[in-house]
């Protein structure tokens, strides 16, 4: 299952998302360039694997901690910029 796979995440604006979804060959080329050929192939192989349903509560805890970590890095860098 790749729905919750972090390598299957790419933040795009609505227009770019719609465009890539309507151009399957270009979408594959975009993600090969984005991830690199090897990582793309590894992600593509995980699509075919069967996994049990993920525990959404654990996913929520995991991603909330990732968001906090990103925020702390941002806060620290902002504080440094303000001090300068």
3-state secondary structure of 32: helix
For 40-78, write each residue's pLDDT tens digit.
999 888 888 777 888 888 888 888 888 888 776 655 565
Residue 43 half-sphere exposure, CB side, CA atoms within 13 Å?
18
User: Where in the chain are the domains?
Assistant: 1-53, 54-84
Q: Compute the residue count for the chain.
A: 84
| Residue-level pLDDT at 14 | 92
Tokens of 83: 């001090």
- In the numeric block, which tokens belong to residue 5? 């796979």
Give the residue ranges of DSSP H helices in the chain.
Answer: 14-22, 24-35, 37-47, 56-83
Percent of the chain's residues with pLDDT above 90: 33
């Amino acid at each position: 299952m790749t729905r919750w796979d972090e390598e299957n995440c790419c933040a795009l604006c609505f227009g770019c998302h719609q465009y890539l979804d309507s151009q399957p060959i270009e979408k594959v080329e975009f993600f090969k360039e984005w991830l690199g050929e090897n990582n793309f192939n590894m992600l593509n192989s995980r699509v075919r694997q069967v996994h049990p349903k993920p525990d959404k509560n654990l996913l929520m805890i995991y991603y909330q901690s990732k968001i906090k970590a990103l925020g702390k890095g941002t806060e620290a860098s902002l504080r440094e910029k303000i001090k300068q």
